[in-house]
Chain A
Amino acid sequence: MCAVPSADGAPGSAAAAAGPRTGTLTRRRLSRRRLPRRAAPYLLIAPALVVIAAVMAYPMGFLASLSLQDYGLRELLAHQGVWAGAANYARLASDPLFWQVVARSLAFTATAVLLSMVLATLLALLMERCSGPVRLLLGGGLIFVWATPVVVAVDIWQWMFDYEFGVANWALTHLHLGSHVHHNWFENPVEGFAIITALVVWGALPFLVVTLYAGLVQVPLELVEAARSDGATAWQVFWQVTAPLLRPIFAIVLSLSTIWDFQVFNQVWIMLNQRPSSTYYVMGVYSYVEAFRVTQYGRGAAVSIVLVAILMLATFFYVRQMARTGELE
């Protein structure tokens, strides 16, 4: 992924110019031994296609067909669902709880993605500028966060914000920031989601920072220096020089963050002891509760199909944006 900016970031490079020429050569040779040459590429991608079909298309198709069935415990035991058409979707559409869940998920994703992008960019810039030892310290810290398994991380955060024994309540009280003795951080979902957002952003930062940093060091120094000698401020250098060059990387990390945050599950589920109240339902949790707790697998499948659809819609714009960026270069 780190190689992307250097290829895209060097406009009119020799490699790009050479592309078409190699193409015509190949085409000429092709005309002589047409059939075997034509078949070769397909043969080469066939194994990959088979694997993708097995691990992706089949389950996806199964999920879609499950979402069109009435599939409860009895059907699960009989291994045979009852065709229900679009009933599961109709039910979702008319369920006010579902729309709340969608809105909550979108709001959570927007907040978490925005925060992680801004913080990751700032940290990456810091990492580029600071001295060697500091960079090592920063990088090491990030790697530790990265290496913490999600379940462990959630448990630690849960302890920090515990109602009775949490260090957050203790520290805030001792810092005279109001009495937080027996303050329940999850009583008010806004506060609860603030903590969950912090946890998700904290966990996402290492990958984002490292990726953005890798992009930053690829930005040609001459360009930055040229801009500076023309009198550009740091702010202008970032927005006029660095940011445009990093656009493909931004697009990738933005898409990935959106996907991760929209399907958040562990952080909510474990933080709330596997029994979140409905005010904490996000798409992933809602789908799980419908499928595995209420034992309506068809309805759970319908929720996850909607989740995938929304994700595809949301990421479509980024992808298109990225494709356009590619064309411009």
Chain B
Amino acid sequence: MNGRHLARSAAVLALGLVAVACSGGPGGGGASSNQPSTLTVWLMNGSAPPSIVDGVNADFKARHPNVKVDVQIQQWSDVTTKLDTAFAGGAPPDVVELGNTLVAKYAAAGALSNVTSKKADFENSSTWLQSLTDSCTLSGKLYCVPYYAGSRAVVYRKDMFDRAGVKPPASTDEWLQIGQKLMDTNRSDADFSALYYPGKYWYAALPFVWDMGGDIATQSGGQWKGTLDSPSSQQGLTTLANMVGKLSRADKTGDELKQDAAFVQGHIAMLVANGWEIGVITDPKTGDPSLKDKLGVFPIPSHTAGQTAPVFLGGSDLGIAARSRAQDLAQEWVGLLTGKKWQTQMATVGLVIPNTTALLSANDGQPLIGTFASAARNSRFVPNSPNWANVESANVIPDMLVSIFTGKASVADATKSASGQVTQILNGKS
């Protein structure tokens, strides 16, 4: 009798899995987009400020008074699962914002509309940032529209630098030296981090790898090969591990999501951050406006004095779901947000790098944001493969960093294992 009970419980367990896998996706996109009178848009948390979203919607409303635009904000942490279910269902959102490292996966699977023939209709298309355009391109076809970019630099507290008598560094070695001086000056503060570096922060680790001539993976003859275990990659990671060990009291297994909140607490002198994080740090709700005048920004230095290290060019693109029933409306909405008017706002209000080289100087007057924009000129990208998203999903690089920083594995062992995983995943079937 109990046997049947058990079998049932076991099966219910399994059923749970299947039920989630098969459900058409509760993910908000839903039923409303069945009618062409509604346009559903998924934007990511922190991308466009509400004032810009409202402005774009108002412009859209002026042209299509009968169409309701439903903008839904998604969280980065679980977005891939939501996207999978939404795209598999019959009524996906019409417009989706995709991190530029994710596009290839969804384009290859046939989830996004091919907009190659419409390219000229988009306002900035002749001056789009090359690396964003590349992230939208698969086998020569365009599957999304560049939205905005972001690159990282070091945000620092000028007052703490003054107290320790240090200046922004010109090289990696100098960076470590001023960091140690800051640690010395703040010896009495057990929570103090000269450089706050959460262990899983892989975007901030890539500049160290690239600066020494290393890379995540290289492609030859259609085959990928993980290269995090190359001597140059290992050298860069060793430098980083040394800095983290000496300068950071951040959680070695934590991620960067809470770093701005931590920075505001006043025990941190330096942070590797995106331009828009300045806004979070100085916002009266999420941060401390009084920090505004105390902040400075310098680009991540190179091991070669006077140069800067290549940074990861993050960013987002806007895609149109292949199954959307409102292709034309979706295209028009995307055209507005990625056009000149609202991209200028994205730069000046949203504090990101706009999608066009024509607007790169939009923030030139601003000392802080200007540094981020110029850092983007020396930027690199992750391997452009439909399988790259799976390397991210499997946490390969964050896991590697955590093992190195916590001393669980040597740089040699950790990179060897991570590199093997990268090779395997990139060459696997997507």
12 contacts across the A-B interface (CB closer than 8 A): A55-B15, A59-B14, A73-B105, A74-B110, A79-B88, A163-B254, A182-B249, A259-B9, A295-B393, A307-B14, A308-B13, A312-B10
Kindly list the 6 A-B residue pairs having the minimum CB-CB distance in the complex, ordered from nearest.
Answer: A293-B393, A73-B109, A59-B15, A74-B109, A59-B18, A163-B251
A: which residues have CB within 8 A of B?
52, 55-57, 59-60, 62-63, 66, 70, 72-74, 76-79, 163-164, 181-182, 184, 186-187, 251-252, 255-256, 259, 263, 273-275, 277-278, 287-289, 291-295, 297, 300-301, 304-305, 307-308, 311-312, 315, 319, 322-323
Chain A residues contacting B81 (CB-CB under 8 Å) are 292-293
User: Given A59-B11, A60-B14, list of 11 further CB < 8 A pairs?
Assistant: A164-B251, A184-B252, A251-B2, A259-B6, A273-B77, A275-B200, A275-B398, A277-B402, A288-B17, A292-B81, A294-B390
Please state if A59 and B19 are interface contacts (CB–CB under 8 Å): yes
For window 67-120 of chain B, which residues contact chain A by CB distance below 8 Å?
Answer: 77-78, 80-81, 84, 87-88, 105-106, 108-111
With both chains docked as a complex, state the minimum distance between the C-beta of A73 and any C-beta of chain B, in angstroms.
Answer: 4
Chain B residues contacting A293 (CB-CB under 8 Å) are 80-81, 393-394
Interface size class of B (residues with CB under 8 A): 35 or more
Interface of B is mostly: helix
Please state if A63 and B14 are interface contacts (CB–CB under 8 Å): yes
A55–B251 Cα distance when bound, in Å, is: 44
Q: How many A-B contacts are there with CB distance less than 8 Å?
A: 145
With CB as the reference atom, state the residue of chain A lying closest to B11: A56
For window 368-402 of chain B, which residues contact chain A by CB distance below 8 Å?
Answer: 390, 393-395, 398-399, 402
Please state if A294 and B18 are interface contacts (CB–CB under 8 Å): no
Partner of A278, one of B8, B255, B262, B395: B395
With CB as the reference atom, state the residue of chain A lying closest to B108: A74
Chain B residues contacting A70 (CB-CB under 8 Å) are 429
Chain B residues contacting A59 (CB-CB under 8 Å) are 11, 14-15, 18-19
Chain A residues contacting B21 (CB-CB under 8 Å) are 66, 291, 297, 300-301
Chain A residues contacting B8 (CB-CB under 8 Å) are 52, 56
Chain A residues contacting B251 (CB-CB under 8 Å) are 163-164, 184
With CB as the reference atom, state the residue of chain B lying closest to A74: B109
With CB as the reference atom, state the residue of chain B lying closest to A256: B9
With CB as the reference atom, state the residue of chain A lying closest to B405: A187
Chain A residues contacting B252 (CB-CB under 8 Å) are 184, 187
Please state if A278 and B399 are interface contacts (CB–CB under 8 Å): yes
With CB as the reference atom, state the residue of chain B lying closest to A288: B17
Chain B residues contacting A292 (CB-CB under 8 Å) are 20, 80-81, 84
A275–B17 Cα distance when bound, in Å, is: 19
Please state if A291 and B80 are interface contacts (CB–CB under 8 Å): no
Query: Given contacts A74-B110, A259-B9, is CB(A308)–CB(B14) below 8 Å?
Result: yes
Query: Given contacts A77-B88, A78-B110, A291-B21, is CB(A304)–CB(B14) below 8 Å?
Result: yes
Please state if A304 and B6 are interface contacts (CB–CB under 8 Å): no
Chain A residues contacting B166 (CB-CB under 8 Å) are none
Chain A residues contacting B191 (CB-CB under 8 Å) are 164, 182
Query: Given contacts A277-B395, A291-B17, is CB(A308)–CB(B11) below 8 Å?
Result: yes
Please state if A300 and B253 are interface contacts (CB–CB under 8 Å): no
A255–B8 Cα distance when bound, in Å, is: 13
B430 CB within 8 Å of chain A:
yes
